[in-house]
Structure 1
Amino acid sequence: MAAPRGPAAAWKRHIVRQLRQRDSTQKALFLELVPAYNRLLEKAELLAQFSESLQPEPNSVTHTTHQGPWEEESEPDSDQVSSPATLKMKWQKEEERLRLRCGQMAYQVVEKSAALGALASELEERQSRLAAQGARVAELEEARAQLAGQVEERRARNAAQRAAYDTLRVRAGLREATLRRLEEEVQELLRQLVQLKARAAAQRNLRNERRERAKQARVSQELKQAAKRPVSISESPEALGSVVREGAESPALAAELQALESEACEKWKRPFRSASATSLTLSRCVDVVKGLLDFKKRRGHSIGGAPEPRYQSIPVCVAVRLPTRAQDVLDAHLSEVNAVRFAPSSSLLATGGADRAIHLWNAVGGRLKASQTLEGAGGSITSLDFDPSGSQVLAATYNKAAQLWRVGEAQSKETLSGHTDKVTAAKFKLTRHQAVTGSRDRTVKEWDLGRAYCSRTINVLSYCNDVVCGDHIIISGHNDQKIRFWDSRGPRCTQVIPVQGRVTSLNLSHDQLHLLSCSRDDTLKVIDLRVSNIRQVFRADGFKCGSDWTKAVFSPDRSYALAGSWDGALYIWDVDTGKLESSVQGPHCAAVNAVAWCPSGSHVVSVDQGRKAVLWH
C-alpha cells in the first residue's frame, strides 16, 4: 500500500509519535523499579546464605572474628563482640524488613504490570482503530479521486456549455439587432403605407370632387341652356323630360326628375298654359338638380360616393329577466378579463383580457361554449365591440392601436394605428365601415374601415376612457370628470356635461335617447339626451368601482341599469324609479370589470380581474 500523502499522513504520524512517547514514558517508570527489585532479590539470597553460615552448632561455642556491617551498628565499643543470638535476631529483623520491602515492591510491580497491560490493550485497540481509520481514509481518498475526476469532467462540460452559450448569445444579439432593424423597417413601411393611403385617398377625393363639380357645372350649363331655349305650346312633355334627363345620373336625381315630369304633364294637360309657368318649372328643375348634386357630394363616406348600408340593432327583448344565480363559471383567460360584449340579436359574445387574446363564446343551454379564438392582438384588450351586422369584432389594445377581426377568421384583418398612447375604447358607428376610437393620448379618432384610414382627429383636454356613437353624434367620457358631445358633421364640441368622478364607461340605449355613465365616485348616472340633463343618479351601500375601466350597461329594454362592484357583486337599479332593484353575490372573488346583457334579455355575463367569466340566469 502506498504511503499516505498530504494532511492525512501528518495526523497519522502525529498519533504514532504520541503513542510511542507514552510507551517510552511508561517503560521509564519500570526501568528503575525492576533493577531495584532484582538487587533486593540478590541481597535477600545473600543474606539467606549468610544466615545459614552463621547458624551455631548446638555443642560448640565458636567466636568469630568476622566483622560486618551489623557490627558497626551494634558494637558500643571496639572490644565488645555480639553473640550469635543477637546477630540472628538482627538478621531476622533485617530479613523481615527486606521481605516487607520486597512485598511492597512486588505489589507495585503487579500494579504497574496491570496498568501496563491495560495500556497495552488500549494501545492495541487504538492501533486497530487507527488501522480502521486508515482503511476509511483510503476509501475516502479513492472516493475523493473519483469525485475529483467527476469535477474535472463537469468543468470541461461547463466550459463547453459556456462556449456554446456565448456563441448562442452572440447569435441572439445578432438576431435581436436584425429583429430591431426589421421592426424599424416595418414601422417605416407602415408609416409610408399610411402616408400613401392618405395621399391616395386625398387624390381620390380631389378627383371625385373635381368630377362632381364638372358634372354639376355641365348639368347646370345644360339646364340653363334648356331654360333659355324657347318652348312652344306644341312641344310635348317628353321633350322637356329628355332635356332635363341629359344631366341626371344618380337614381335619386332620376326619381326627382320623374316627379317633375309627372307634374309637367299635369300642367301641360291644362287648357291654358303661359310662358311664365314653363320658365318657372325649368328654374325649379335647375334648383332641384343643384340641390341633389350638392346632397350627393355631402353624403358620400366612401370613395365612390355610394350609400353605405346602415344597420340598426333592433332589440328582440320581450321581457328582461333579472340575474339571480350563476349558471356557468369558467376561467375564460390566462389573466385579468377587461371586456365582454354580446353580438347584436345573437347569443354570441366576445371576451378580451390582459393575455392579448379574444375568445368567442356561445351562450347555449345555460353554458358558455368556446367558439373561436381571435389571435394577433398586439397588447392587452381594453374594449370590444361588434359591428351592427355581428360579422366583425373591433378591439382597443394597449399597443396604441385598434384591431379589426372578421368572425370566423383567426387573424386580424386590419390594424388602425395612429394613436400615440394606449387605446382605451373602440366602437362601431351605425355602419360597419366606420368606427370611433378613444385613447389616453387625449384624442378621439374617426376611421373609414374600408380604407383603414383616419378621417378625422378630435383633440381633447383629457384622457378618453370610453366612447359611444349615435346617428350624427359622438359621446366621449374623460378622466377630467366630463362627458363631451361631438357632432360628426362639425369640428367642435357641441356640449359638455360635468359629472363627479372620472368617467369609466358610457352606454347608449337602443332608442338613443338615454345615456348611462359610470364614474369613480361610485355612482351611475342616466342622462336624458333630449334635454341634455342628468335624470337619475344610482348609488348603493357596498357598490364601488373596481377600476378605471369598469363597464355598466342598460338592459335591452332600458328598464334597468347593471354594474359590477369591487367585491364581485352585481348591482341592478330600476331606471324609472331610481331604486336599487337587487344585488347578487356570486362566484366572483375579485373586482368585476365589465358586464353584458344578452339582447334577448334572458341572461347576463360578467367578467372580473381574477380570469373568471360567469353566466347568470
Structure 2
Amino acid sequence: MRNMAAGAVQYTNDTDLVLKFQSVKFGNMSLVELQSLLEIKDKQIYQLTKELQEAKKEIEHNAKNIFSEELPTPKPFPCQYKMPKTLHLMTQSDKTESLCLSTSRLESFFVTGGADLTIKKWSSTGRKLLELPGSEKVVLSVDVSPNEQFILGSSADKVARLWSSVSGKLLHWLQGHLDSIFVGKFLNHSKVITGSGDRTLKIWDIEKSICLRTTNCFHSCSDLSTATDPDHNTYISAHSDNEIRFWDTRNSDCLWTSAGLHSKRLTSVCVSPSHTLLLTSSRDNTLKLLDLRTRAALFEFSRPTYENPANWSRACFSPDGRYVAAGSGNGCVMLWDAKTGEYEDSLLSEKSSPFVSVSWTTESLIAIDRSGFVSLWN
C-alpha cells in the first residue's frame, strides 16, 4: 500500500490517499466504526454505479428505437366493416388550399399540408396538435414514418423535410432535386423515396441526410407506393405519361411498365392492406384495380358525376380492403366495392369544394378539400 523512503511516506494509489484523508477526518473514530462507514459508502457507490449503468442502457435503447425496424401494431378492423355515413367533423386545416393528407400507422394522428406552407398534425378526432413551418413553397406531399417518429413533407421548393412527430422540431433537409417534389414516402424506418418533376426518383438515408441513389424515371412522378412487399424490395411510381412503373429498391432497375393503363396522367397509386391489389387513379376520371400478382386489370371504377379534381388527387382502400374511396370535383367522396366493382355510395360535406385526398381508418374516413377544410365521417 505504501513505500518508506528517506523517512517519508509515499502513497502508491488513490486508495491510500483516501485512507489518509479518512484517518485525519475520522481520527477520533474506532477502527470498527470507520470500517462500518466505509462499507456504507461502498454500498452507496455500488448503487449509484448500477443506476448510472441502467440509465445508460435506457438512453441507448431509446436512441436505437428512433430508427428501429420494429413497427407499432395497427388497430384490428371488424370482420364486417361498416360504411361511413355520418359527417362527424368539419374544420379548417389550411388558410388557403389543402393539398395532401396522410394517416399514421396506429391511426392515433393524421397530418395535412397545403398552400399555406405548413404541415399540421391532428388527433384522430380532428384536434390540431402541432403546426410545422419550414417550407418555402406549397407542401405537395406528406407521409408518416412506420414507427410514427417522423413526418416527411415534400414541397414545390425542391426540398423534402423531416420533422419530429413528437416535438415538431425540423430535423433534416433532403436537397438535390431540380424541380418540385410531388411525392415523398417512407421506404422503411430509415429511408425515404422522393419523386419529382425533374423526372427522377431519389432514395435517401434520413439518418445521414444523404441521397443513396438517383433513378431516371423518364417522366414526372405524381405518386409512389412503398407498401408492395414485406421486404421493401419493390416500389411503384405513377407518372404523367399515363403509366405506372415497378422498381427494384436495391438498384435502379425498372421491373415493369404498364401499357395503355389510363388515357391521361396518373395522380395516385395505393396498395391494398393484403398487398395483393393495386388501386390507380387518373385525370381521365377513372380508377382501376390491378392484381399485383398478374398485373392484370380487374375493375374500372367510374361514375357520370365523378371527376378527378387535381394532379395530386389521392384515392385509397378501406382498412379491410373491401372498398375504395376517391374524392370528386363535385364536392363528394365516392365509394366502390373492390370485390364486385360496383358503385356503393357518395359522402357529402357541408361545402361543395372538390375533395383532393382521402384516407380511411378503422374509426373514420378523412378527406381534405381545395377550400382548406378537412372532413371526418364516422
The TM-score normalised by the length of structure 1 is 0.48
- Alpha-carbon distance in structure 2 between the residues aligned to 1:530 and 1:330: 40
Q: In the alignment, what sits opposite 2:237?
A: 476
Identify unmatched segments of 5+ residues in structure 2. Answer: 1-66
| Structure 1: distance between partners of 2:112 and 2:375 | 11
- In structure 2, the residue corresponding to 1:532 is in which secondary structure? coil
CA distance in 1, matches of 2:104, 2:214: 28
1:494 paired to 2:255 = yes
**What's the offset of the Cα at 1:585?**
2.1
- Kindly provide the CA deviation profile for residues 24-47 of structure 1, in whole angstroms up to 9, marking residues without a partner as x: xxxxxxxxxxxxxxxxxxxxxxxx
- C-alpha contact (below 8 Å) 2:332/2:352 kept by paired residues: no
Please name the residue that 1:401 is paired with: 159
Q: Contact (CA 8 Å) 2:318, 2:360: kept in 1 or not? A: yes
Report the CA distance shift for 1:313/1:445 in structure 2 as closer, same or farther (over 3 A).
farther
Choose from 173, 176, 179 the match for 1:418: 176
Distance in 2, Cα, partners of 1:613 & 1:354? 14
Q: Per-residue CA shift, 1:169-202, capped at 9, x if unaligned?
A: xxxxxxxxxxxxxxxxxxxxxxxxxxxxxxxxxx
**Is the contact between residue 325 and residue 586 of structure 1 (CA under 8 Å) also seen in structure 2?**
no
1:236-275 equivalent positions in 2, closer than 5 A = none
Equivalent runs, 1:159-558 vs 2, <5 Å: 309-311=69-71, 314=74, 316-318=76-78, 319-364=80-125, 368-429=126-187, 431-469=188-226, 470=228, 471-498=232-259, 499-500=261-262, 501-558=264-321
Deviation at 1:475, TM superposition (A): 0.6
Q: In the alignment, residue 611 of structure 1 is paired with which amino acid?
A: G
CA apart distance, 1:331: 1.4
Deviations 1:381-421 (A, max 9, x none): 11111111112111111110111111122331111100000
Which protein has the bigger strand share? 2
Q: Which amino acid aligns with 2:184?
A: A
Distance 1:503 1:510 in 2: 21
Q: Is contact 1:315-1:556 (8 Å) kept?
A: no
> What CA distance in whole angstroms lies between the structure 2 residues aligned with 1:312 and 1:512?
18
The answer to whether the Cα contact below 8 Å between 1:375 and 1:411 also exists between their aligned partners in 2 is no
Equivalent position SS for 1:413? strand
Map 1:85-100 → 2, pairs under 5 A: none
Name the structure where helix makes up a greater proportion of residues. Answer: 1
Quote the Cα distance in structure 1 between the aligned partners of 2:287 and 2:73.
Answer: 24
- From the superposition, tell whether residues 411 and 377 of structure 1 become closer, same or farther in structure 2 (CA, over 3 Å): farther
Amino acid at match of 2:173: T
1:375 aligned partner, one-letter code: P
The whole-number CA distance in structure 1 between the counterparts of 2:194 and 2:111 is 18
State the Cα deviation string for residues 273-319 of structure 1 (Å, max 9, x = none).
xxxxxxxxxxxxxxxxxxxxxxxxxxxxxxxxxx9625376452124
- Per-residue CA distance 1:470-492 (angstroms, 9 max, x = gap): 32101100000010001112332
| Distance in structure 2 (CA, Å) of the matches to 1:436 and 1:313 | 23
TM superposition shift of 1:450: 1.1
Using the TM superposition, give the Cα deviation of residue 564 of structure 1 relative to its aligned residue in structure 2, in angstroms. Answer: 0.5
Alignment of 1:127-166 (within 5 A): none
The superposition leaves residues 132-190 of structure 1 with CA deviations (integer Å, 9 ceiling, x where unpaired) of xxxxxxxxxxxxxxxxxxxxxxxxxxxxxxxxxxxxxxxxxxxxxxxxxxxxxxxxxxx
- Displacement of 1:461: 1.5
Residue 332 of structure 2, aligned match among 569, 578, 596 = 569
User: Deviation at 1:378?
Assistant: 2.4
Letter in 2 for 1:490: N
Give distance in 1, aligned partners of 2:337 and 2:139.
31
Cα distance in structure 1, aligned partners of 2:310 and 2:73: 29
C-alpha contact (below 8 Å) 1:338/1:354 kept by paired residues: yes
User: What does residue range 16-27 of structure 1 map to in structure 2 within 5 Å?
Assistant: none
Distance 1:607 1:308 in 2: 31
8 A Cα contact 2:107 2:124, kept in partner: no
What is the alpha-carbon distance in structure 2 between the residues aligned to residue 402 and residue 512 of structure 1? 27
Distance in 1, matches of 2:102 and 2:176, equals 25
Maintained 8 Å contact 1:373/1:410: yes
Using a 3 Å threshold, how does the CA distance of structure 1 residues 591 and 549 change in structure 2: closer, same or farther?
same
Matched with 1:282 is none
- Give the residue type in structure 1 aligned to 2:357: A
State the Cα distance separating 1:589 from its structure 2 match: 2.1
Residue 505 of structure 1 contacts residue 552 of structure 1 at CA under 8 Å; is this kept in 2? yes
Percent identical pairs in the alignment equals: 30
Amino acid across the alignment from 2:341: G
User: Counterpart amino acid of 2:207?
Assistant: G
CA contact (8 A) 1:435 1:449 kept: yes
Gaps of 5+ in 1: 1-306
Cα distance in 2 between the residues matched to 1:371 and 1:547: 28
What is the total number of aligned residue pairs between the two structures?
305
Q: Which has the larger radius of gyration?
A: 1
* Cα separation, partners in 2 of 1:505 and 1:400, compared to 1, 3 Å: same
Paired residue type of 2:219: S
1:214-267 CA-partner distances (Å, limit 9, x unpaired): xxxxxxxxxxxxxxxxxxxxxxxxxxxxxxxxxxxxxxxxxxxxxxxxxxxxxx
CA distance in 2, matches of 1:491, 1:432: 20
The 1-side partners of 2:69 and 2:366 are apart by 30
Q: Is the 8 A contact 2:72 2:106 kept in 1?
A: no
After TM superposition, the score normalised by the length of structure 2 is: 0.78
- Tell me the distance in 2 between the aligned counterparts of 1:402 and 1:545: 26
The offset of 1:434, in angstroms, is 0.7
Q: Deviation string for 1:423-462 (max 9, x for gaps)? A: 0000001x21011000000001111111111111110211
Counterpart residue type for residue 578 of structure 1: G
Which structure has more relative contact order (CA 8 Å, sep 6+)? It is 2
- What is the match of residue 6 of structure 2? none
- 1:467 counterpart letter in structure 2: L
Alpha-carbon distance in 1 for matches of 2:137, 2:284? 29
Shift of 1:546: 0.6
Residue 543 of structure 1 aligns to a residue in which SS? coil
Single out whichever of 381-390 and 504-513 deviates more from structure 2.
504-513
CA contact (8 A) 1:356 1:380 kept: yes
Q: Secondary structure at the match of 1:438?
A: strand
- Whichever residue aligns with residue 504 of structure 1, its letter is T
Partner Cα distance (2:274, 2:190) in 1: 21
Describe the shift of the 1:485–1:312 C-alpha distance in structure 2 as closer, same or farther (beyond 3 A). Answer: farther
Matched-pair contact (CA < 8 Å) for 1:376–1:411: no
CA contact (8 A) 1:374 1:409 kept: no
Q: Where does residue 187 of structure 1 map in the other structure?
A: none
Aligned-residue offset at 1:376: 1.3
Aligned counterparts of 1:507 and 1:467: Cα–Cα separation in 2: 8
For 1:535, what is the secondary structure of its paired residue? Answer: strand
Deviation at 1:596, TM superposition (A): 0.9
